[in-house]
Amino acid sequence: MCGIVGFYSEEKNKEAIIKKMADRIKHRGPDGDGYYTDEKVALGQRRLSIIDIERWQATNVYRR
């Protein structure tokens, strides 16, 4: 089970907010996380490795 979070806003501290949101769903994916923010959008995701925990299969959302 994995999870995603996101929001649209012109808030200045989007990175802190999206990390806090992703931490709230850590139980859905404790094996990895990723974040993306720009001027108006913030996305975050949590990853659960069930079968293969190889690093190359890690999240495709990049930290900024």
Phi, psi angle pair for 51, to nearest 5°: -105, -50
Q: What is the dihedral of CA 27, 1, 36, 59, to 10 degrees?
A: 110
9 catalytic? Reply is no
Catalytic residue among 1, 2, 48, 61: 2
**Catalytic residue numbers?**
2
